[in-house]
Amino acid sequence: MEVLKIATAGSVDDGKSTLIGRILYDTKSLTTDKLEAIEKTSKQRGYDYLDFSLATDGLVAEREQGITIDVAHIYFSTSKKSYIIADTPGHVEYTRNMVTGASTSQASIILIDARKGVIEQTNRHFFINNLLRIKDVVVAINKMDLVDYSEDVYNKIKADFEDLMSKRDYQDQSISFIPVSALKGDNVVNPSKNMPWYKGETLLDHLEKLDKADIFNVGTPRFPVQYVIRPKTDEYHDFRGYAGKVYGGNLSVGDEVVVLPSLTKSKIKEIYFYDEKYETASRRSSVTITLEDDVNVSRGDMIVKENDLPTIEKQFTANVCWMDSKQLTPGAKYIVQHGINKVLAKVDNIHHKIHPDYSGIEEEVSGLGMNDIAQVSFKLNKPIYYDKFKNHRTNGSFIIIDSQSNNTVGAGFIQ
Which residue from 27, 77, 150, 264 is in contact with other proteins, where contact means CB under 8 A? 77
Residue 56 engages other proteins in binding (rule: CB under 8 A): yes
Which residue from 12, 13, 26, 63 is in contact with other proteins, where contact means CB under 8 A? 63
Distance of CA 346 to the CA centre of its chain: 26
* 415, HSE (Cβ side, Cα atoms, 13 Å): 12
Asked if 350 contacts 372 with a C-beta cutoff of 8 angstroms, the reply is no
For residues 297 and 269, give the distance between their C-alpha atoms in angstroms, rounded to a whole number: 15
Q: Look up residue 20 and give its amino acid.
A: I
Q: How far is the CB of 171 from other proteins (least distance, A)?
A: 23
Q: How far is the CB of 361 from other proteins (least distance, A)?
A: 24
Q: Kind and range of the H or E element at 209? A: helix 203-209
Task: Give how many residues touch other proteins by CB under 8 A.
Answer: 74
Interactions with other proteins, residue window 223-282 (CB under 8 A): 226-227, 229-233, 235-236, 239, 241, 243-245, 272-275
For residues 119 and 96, give the distance between their C-alpha atoms in angstroms, rounded to a whole number: 19
Residue 177 engages other proteins in binding (rule: CB under 8 A): no
Q: How far is the CB of 210 from other proteins (least distance, A)?
A: 14
CA-nearest of 292, 242, 215 to 5 is: 215
Interactions with other proteins, residue window 116-135 (CB under 8 A): none
Q: How far is the CB of 148 from other proteins (least distance, A)?
A: 35
DSSP label of 202:
-
Q: How far is the CB of 284 from other proteins (least distance, A)?
A: 6
What are phi and psi for residue 104, nearest 5 degrees? -110, 10
Q: How far is the CB of 379 from other proteins (least distance, A)?
A: 21
Residue 92 engages other proteins in binding (rule: CB under 8 A): no
- Segment interacting with other proteins (CB under 8 A) among 57-65, 162-170, 186-194, 303-311: 57-65
CA-nearest of 170, 204, 221 to 4 is: 204
Residue 57 engages other proteins in binding (rule: CB under 8 A): yes
